[in-house]
Structures are given as C-alpha cells and as structure tokens.
Amino acid sequence: MTKRRSQHWFGGHGKDAFIHRSWMKNNGLPDDAFDGRPVIGICNTFSEFTPCNAHFRGLVEHIKAGVLEAGGLPLEFPVFSCGESNLRPTAMLFRNLASMDVEESIRGNPMDGVVLMAGCDKTTPALVMGAASCDLPSIVVSGGPMLNGRFQGREIGSGTDVWKFSEDVRAGVMTEREFAQAESAMSRSPGHCMTMGTASTMASMVEALGIALPGNAAYPAVDAHRARLARMSGRRIVEMVREDLRLSAILKKEAFANAIRVNGAIGGSTNAVVHLLAIAGRIGVELTLDDWDELGRNIPTIVDLMPSGRFLMEDFCYAGGIPAVMKEIANLLDLDALTVTGRTLREELAGAMNYNPQVIRPRQQALTPHGGIAVLRGNLAPGGAIIKPSAASPELMRHRGRAVVFEDIDHYKAAVDDPTLDIDESCIMVLKNCGPKGYPGMAEVGNMALPQKLLKKGVRDMVRISDARMSGTAFGTVVLHTAPEAAIGGPFALVRGGDIIELDVDARKLHLDVTDEELERRRLEWEAPVPTMQGGYQGLYVEHVLQADRGADLDFLVGCRGHAIPRESH
C-alpha cells in the first residue's frame, strides 16, 4: 500500500515529524492518533453571521463520532463562510474566495479525506469547488432546512413569502404590523431556507451528483435523522479513504447530467446553473450552458414546493425526498452512476418510496410538464440567458414588449416607484450592470419588484430581463444571467428605453428588435461603467471573473490542481 497522505506529516522519526505531531498533541491527542489511520478534515462553514449554518458546532460532533467509530482521526477546520442573508454586496462575490480557502486548506494540511459541511446557498458550491480542485475522497453533509414557517395558521416559506408579503404591503393588502410579525414566524428553527431555494437545491444537487448520502437534502436541521446522517457520513468517509474513492470517480459527466435532470424535477434554483458549471470546470468535466437546456428539456417538474409550487422542505422530507424523486424519474437518469456509498444509483434507489404523491407528484400529474432551465439566445444574449419556466407565468412565455430600462440597481431603485414612470404591464423591465463584474458579484436582484402603481392595479408578474441572478426562492417571468453582461459592453448594454424586445421561451429566443447598424452606432457611444471597488479581493474578482455561461468562476481557478504533498514548511 502506498503511504497515506497524512503520514507524510505525521509518520517517521525526524525533526519534521516531531514538529507536526508535538503541536497536535497539545490538545490531548495520544501517540496512536498518528499511527497511519485516515486523517479526516472536517471543513466547517459555521458562522453566527451565516445563521443558516449557525448550528454546525453541534452537527460537527456527530461527524466526529462517526469518524472515530470507523477508526479515523477527525480534525475540524474553519473556512470563509458566505451567508446569503447578511453578506454585502452579495454572497456570490465571495463564493470563489471561499473555494480558494477550501482548496488551499485541504492541500496544505495533513488530511486524507474531507467532510464538507455546507448549508446556506453559496457554502455548498464553494466547498465542492475547492474540494474538486484537490480531488481527495470527499463527502458533503448539508446542515438541513429549517422547519416550515408558520404564520396566522398557515405555512410560509423562506424568501418566497418575503417577496409576496413585501409586494402585499406595497399594494396595501397587508399591514406593516403583520409584516413585522411574519418575520419571527418565518424562521423558527436552526437550518437553511426551507423552500426549494438555492440552499435546498444545492443540497439536492450534491445528493443527485452522488457526493452526499441518500437523504442529505431533505432531513430538517433539527431532525435526529440529520444528526444520524452526519454520523454515518463520518463513518463513510473513513472507508472512502481506505477505498481511495475520490471525487473524480464520482463527478463524471453522467453525474452532472443526473443532477441537471433532478434540478428540473424539483423545480430547483436557477443558481444551480452557475454552480454546477463552476464545479464541472474544477473537476475537468466538459459541461456547457447548452447541456442545461438539452439535458433538462422535457423534464417534468414533479416536486410541488415553493417557489414553483405549494409545499416546503419538511413536507418534502416526509414524502421521501430526493431518492423518491429520482425513483419517479429513474428512466431519465443514468443509474450506473457511482455514489459516495460505493454503490450505484440503481442500488441506492432500490428501496426508495414516494409517501406523498401530492408533494412528489406522479409524472402524469406534473406541476409543469417541461420544467428544467431554458437557455435563451439571440442578439441580446449571444452568450445565453436563462429562465426557469416552472416559476414563470405561462401567458408571458411568449411576449413582445417595450423595454423600460434601468441602467443599474441605483437607477432602478430611484425610478421604479416614480408615478411618472412610463410603464404598463405589457412592458419589459430591463436591469443592466448587475452581472459578475457589474454589480460586482452578480447579485440576486433579477427578480426586481414591480412598480407600485402596477402592483396596486393587481399586476403580479411582468417580463424582466437582467444580467443578474435571482434568489432561488423567487418566482416570476424573469430572464437572468444574460451574457455577455452589460458592464463589459455586451449587446445587453445597448438596449434603450422604447426598444422592442421579443421573448419566446419555446423557441429559446431573446431578440432585440433593433438593426445591427443601429446597435453598432450605439456601441461606439458606449462607455464602460466605473468599477465600484478597486484593489483587494474585489479588484481581483472583477479582473478575473468569467461570465455566467462559464459559471462565474475566476479564470485562474478553473481546473483540478490535485493533492500532491507540498514541500516541507521548515
């Protein structure tokens, strides 16, 4: 057997081994902790500024117990925690930073395998991206969703109902007092958003990719099953090290295809698009935006969860979770795909059951027969743009309208509720300069709220187009991730108020009805916006970030750099 990675630090007798072991012993580790047993790093995104992951200090103990039971040595380490609800200007700006932290922490330290503890939206892709660039045996443990929100006798969902309530307040049908009460009712236990937002989507994605144990996505954070799953993951990673079952053996093209199809079936977040593209880039799998359209086309959305549907993650858990969904669409999946269990998906799904056909519908009664993500192209988005049909209004999926243009988020905020704004429900709202470089960080502002005067008229959806992302908990006929973005002078930068835009989702078309000559004339007049921040990490980010169709990773982070033992430190 080749020498275990950690033994290059902890094995042997010289000065170097003395140093590596002696300092580790200051916490009470005995001699035999260094006898060659698998050393398991536990990558913890705990932070009290990331409330979705704030229960991880307790959860990690279950993972450690499992590692010890299987004969491994668990060693926990913190990494940058990017929490969605607090971090400005947007957590997405720091996903890549966190992934660098993860990658270098793994490679530089004496570990043989790693458990990735993620929860809130960006923490999952950040950890998987970093780990994929190292390719050690790795397993994800998600923190689990919050219990369903409950308000005034009914269930309310993270995010989704915030968007609804705030529009209700602006439309005058909900009081400020009720709005304030809903705040405490929405988030009633540890855990992440319990809608099928980005956190639950990404927890589902890692399960569908095969890099987390079955059941990972759905158990609520406070359910004893969650603690048990953490413990079993701790045991399993030790075995994975013994089997040398690394990420690259699991994260094959088939795994990504399965995940894309599952995303369609669950009505998952549009954010999964950029995250899966970025993860694929790290592990060296050729995955494109067009794969999202082709593989996800005709996948029925069968999970009736907010924001596409009615229920919440607790219901989804009791209905059978991701294994039940995968069983329901099994003939659309590659069942030979390997998972962290060492077994194939086929073997894993054998015992799966759907316990609630209201929550996980039979395919014949799909919520949307054509779920998935539609990739739109045209002169407005030569690099592509996306829309999530299951969250859109069917009557707006084919629409021609006059553009009302907001040059950036500040312009939008200043103008949207101006009573003199020339807009009606047939118009198309266009928001520029919110892409990866423009915002910076491609913030979740694409589901921009409608003008108050239209809300008061009862309008609840309009076509909106931007180079931004939207929260996975949001809904509407919202075209996102337009590439190239406005801030680098893509054609999207050249749209002007009064232009006619044509959206045809079935035809995958997004067309600006302006002649090429006129666009060329406008291009000559175009001036690049001044970056909001120079220097520091944000400066580095703006200089190196790729467009949305490449996953918005930093150009120099793409690829797997492996886990060779670095040079000795002293």
Q: What is the binding site for Mg ion (CB under 5 A)?
A: 84, 121, 197-198, 471-472
Site stretch for ligand FES (CB under 6 A), options 9-17, 192-200, 340-348, 545-553: 192-200
Q: Judge contact between 368 and 300, C-beta under 8 A.
A: yes
189 lines the binding site for ligand FES (CB under 6 A): no
Q: Locate all alpha helices (DSSP H) within 188-252, ordered by sequence.
A: 198-209, 224-243, 247-250
Q: Which of 112, 121, 328, 408 binds ligand FES (CB under 6 A)?
A: 121
95 lines the binding site for ligand FES (CB under 6 A): no
Nearer to Mg ion, 300 or 446 (CB): 446
Instruction: Name residues whose C-beta falls within 8 Å of residue 362's C-beta, 6 or more positions apart in sequence.
Output: 302, 328, 354
Question: Could you give the CA distance from residue 17 to residue 13 in angstroms, rounded to a whole number?
Answer: 6
Dihedral (CA of 214, 339, 278, 429) sign: negative
- Residue 120 contacts which entry, ligand FES, Mg ion, none (Cβ below 5-8 A, type-dependent): ligand FES
Q: What is the 8-class DSSP label of residue 451?
A: P
Per this entry, what is the length of the chain? 570
- Residue 301 contacts which entry, ligand FES, Mg ion, none (Cβ below 5-8 A, type-dependent): none
Residues 43-72, interacting with ligand FES (CB under 6 A)? 52
Nearer to ligand FES, 202 or 229 (CB): 202
Tell me how far, at minimum, the Cβ of 438 lies from Mg ion, in Å.
Answer: 20
CA-closest candidate to residue 199, choices 121, 315, 253, 265: 121
312 lines the binding site for ligand FES (CB under 6 A): no
Nearer to Mg ion, 84 or 553 (CB): 84
- Residue 63 contacts which entry, Mg ion, ligand FES, none (Cβ below 5-8 A, type-dependent): none
Q: Which of 43, 63, 117, 120 binds ligand FES (CB under 6 A)?
A: 120
Q: Which of 199, 273, 322, 337 binds ligand FES (CB under 6 A)?
A: 199
Nearer to ligand FES, 54 or 416 (CB): 54
98 lines the binding site for ligand FES (CB under 6 A): no
CA-closest candidate to residue 93, choices 493, 557, 554: 554
Instruction: Name residues whose C-beta falls within 8 Å of residue 250's C-beta, 6 or more positions apart in sequence.
Output: 209, 210, 211, 337, 338, 339, 340
Nearer to ligand FES, 121 or 549 (CB): 121
Describe the chain by its helix, strand, coil percentages, rounded to 5: 40, 15, 45
Nearer to Mg ion, 167 or 504 (CB): 167
372 lines the binding site for ligand FES (CB under 6 A): no
Tell me how far, at minimum, the Cβ of 254 lies from ligand FES, in Å.
Answer: 28
Q: Which of 42, 193, 206, 340 binds ligand FES (CB under 6 A)?
A: 193
313 lines the binding site for ligand FES (CB under 6 A): no
CA-closest candidate to residue 329, choices 259, 398, 282: 259
- Residue 131 contacts which entry, Mg ion, ligand FES, none (Cβ below 5-8 A, type-dependent): none
414-453 burial, b if ≥16 CB within 10 A, otherwise e? ebbeeeeeebebebbbbbbbbbbbbbbbbbbbbbbbbbbb
Tell me how far, at minimum, the Cβ of 346 lies from ligand FES, in Å.
Answer: 31
Q: Judge contact between 512 and 380, C-beta under 8 A.
A: yes
Nearer to ligand FES, 90 or 538 (CB): 90
Q: Judge contact between 144 and 52, C-beta under 8 A.
A: no
Q: Judge contact between 132 and 246, C-beta under 8 A.
A: no
Nearer to ligand FES, 199 or 212 (CB): 199
Dihedral (CA of 365, 194, 131, 271) sign: positive
Beta bridge partners of 376: 385
Please tell me whether residue 66 adopts helix, strand or coil conformation: helix
Q: Which of 197, 214, 309, 440 binds ligand FES (CB under 6 A)?
A: 197
- Residue 291 contacts which entry, Mg ion, ligand FES, none (Cβ below 5-8 A, type-dependent): none
Question: Could you give the CA distance from residue 333 to residue 319 in angstroms, rounded to a whole number?
Answer: 20
Count the site residues for ligand FES by CB under 6 A. Answer: 10
Tell me how far, at minimum, the Cβ of 198 lies from ligand FES, in Å.
Answer: 7
Place of tokens 């999926």: 397
Site stretch for ligand FES (CB under 6 A), options 191-199, 262-270, 280-288, 397-405: 191-199
Tell me how far, at minimum, the Cβ of 81 lies from ligand FES, in Å.
Answer: 11
| Residues making contact with ligand FES (CB under 6 A) | 52, 84-85, 120-121, 158, 192-193, 197, 199
